[in-house]
Homo-oligomer: A and B are copies of this chain.
Amino acid sequence: MPSTQPARGTRDFLPADIRRREYVIDVVRRVYERYGFEPLETPAFENIETLVGKAGDETNKLIFKILRRGEHEGTGPADLALRYDLTVPLARVMAEYQSALPKYFRRYQIQPVWRADRPARGRFREFYQCDIDAMGSTSPIVEVEVIAAVSEVLTTLGFQDFHVRLNDRRLLSALLAEAGVPPPLETDAFVALDKLDKIGPDGVSAELISRGIDPAAAAACLTLFSTGGDSSEALTARLEARLGHRREAIQTVATIRALAEMTPAAGRVRLDPSLARGLSYYTGAIMEIAVPDLAGSLGGGGRYDNLIGMFLGRDVPACGFSLGLERIIVVMTERGMFPPAVGSASADVMVALWSEASRADTLALAGELRRSGLRVDVYPDPDKPGKQFKYASGRGYPVVVLAGDDERNAGTVTVRNMRTSSQMTLPRADLAAHVSRELTRERVEP
């Protein structure tokens, strides 16, 4: 028999899991809509050349590739690949539908992506990204709106202790040059520095050196990039003293921080010269959300003014942010942040089955209850009532409805409260209203 486990690094979601996921997704979607972002979706797979070479070598290695159609055996050449993010497909979409889309297109996209990464806590091979991107403007208003939207998502979910790490790729480049990293090795340095959280300064130093960066330059990088616990203001002053020639980037970062004070991100944005981000397509501001008890981030993003140009032939400025659904759920679960009702039983009522002869009547009762909006399960086999009640109780259904032969002859129906085991027989015409009242009481009382 085949294994019954999901493929390595992927998960099945049972009903209670889905209800928690949908609770988070609903908040994300509602907030994103309030910021004027519109929904968009793209296919799970793309032509392989769409994906390869857009986000750097590190990402190329993680692409799941699909055998060419018509190959029915277990091996062959690949022509399609699963998307590893939602940004590269968006860039393709921007090029393809340019004329149908507004100049300042704001879109959100909540879909899974796939990476052949080594699975670890909170790191899966299939995971959902909740992305927003704003295209068409180089104004720092875009960065601020993006930071504000993800901050509002997190505060709405109940997060109080997150902050937004902010840096700029142009500053990073200047610092790397200053440290003695030659420009062709810049992307390698970003990838290595991005792992500071995961592998620590020694690990980063080793990786920088293994990627061909001079040991002295590697050491200089780490010194330059340490924040030393300084405030954003002190860091800005330090950067200005050191990198006066990159005033534009310093100014952008300062403007973003200042404007963010007018939004739900107020007080949360911190300049962090050590923030690198692993993807190669960023060109300006980069950011990440950090919470104290999670190595790694709840999400990240930045400005990428050249990526759409790789598909369109002319550049369209863009900036976006991606929240990681799995990471958010891991932290919310550990901290007990989900409201208790999320993930509880599905049906409001179960209609019991008295006998095979009463099947039609049972279905009619279920129909009446459903027409009043209730969620109704029907017990399908004519087991003894005691067994049926036990089943309903095990499932957590608050109310069971039953019509035996006597009730059916009298035009009545019996309603059982599963918590108190009290029963009441009433005219059928009153059924739906009575059950609704019973449920309201149960939701207040227990």
| Shortest Cβ distance from A29 into B: residue | B22
Task: Report how far A70 CA is from B394 CA in the complex, Å.
Answer: 46
Taking A12-B43, A36-B376, A262-B364 as known contacts, 18 extra A-B pairs with beta carbons closer than 8 A to each other, sorted by chain A number, are A2-B50, A4-B312, A6-B42, A7-B46, A7-B80, A12-B93, A13-B39, A34-B370, A35-B376, A44-B112, A45-B82, A48-B74, A74-B77, A74-B78, A75-B78, A103-B391, A141-B378, A259-B363
A5 proximal to B (CB < 8 A): yes
Task: Report how far A364 CA is from B402 CA in the complex, Å.
Answer: 57
Q: Is the Cβ of A39 less than 8 Å from the Cβ of B22?
A: yes
Q: Which residues of B contact A259 (CB under 8 A)?
A: 359-360, 363
Q: Is the Cβ of A40 less than 8 Å from the Cβ of B69?
A: no
16 pairs, CB–CB < 8 Å, chain A vs chain B: A4-B312, A12-B96, A18-B41, A21-B41, A35-B370, A36-B350, A36-B377, A44-B44, A45-B64, A45-B82, A61-B72, A64-B66, A65-B71, A69-B116, A103-B391, A104-B391
| Other-chain contact of A43, B50, B77, B126, B359 (Cβ < 8 Å) | B126
Q: Which residues of B contact A170 (CB under 8 A)?
A: none
In the assembled complex, the CB of A60 is this many whole angstroms from the nearest CB of chain B, namely 7
Task: Report how far A353 CA is from B139 CA in the complex, Å.
Answer: 11
Q: Which residues of B contact A2 (CB under 8 A)?
A: 47, 49-50, 92, 310-311
A367 proximal to B (CB < 8 A): yes
Count copies of this chain in the complex: 2
A428 proximal to B (CB < 8 A): no
A413 proximal to B (CB < 8 A): no
A427 proximal to B (CB < 8 A): no
In the assembled complex, the CB of A163 is this many whole angstroms from the nearest CB of chain B, namely 19
Q: Which residues of B contact A38 (CB under 8 A)?
A: 15, 18, 346
In the assembled complex, the CB of A348 is this many whole angstroms from the nearest CB of chain B, namely 9
Given contacts A18-B41, A77-B75, A378-B145, contact A65 B67 (CB under 8 A): yes
A95 proximal to B (CB < 8 A): yes
Q: Is the Cβ of B141 less than 8 Å from the Cβ of A359?
A: yes
Chain A residues numbered 71-94 whose CB sits less than 8 Å from any CB in chain B: 71-72, 74-80, 82, 92-93
In the assembled complex, the CB of A76 is this many whole angstroms from the nearest CB of chain B, namely 6
Given contacts A19-B39, A34-B375, A49-B2, contact A380 B137 (CB under 8 A): yes
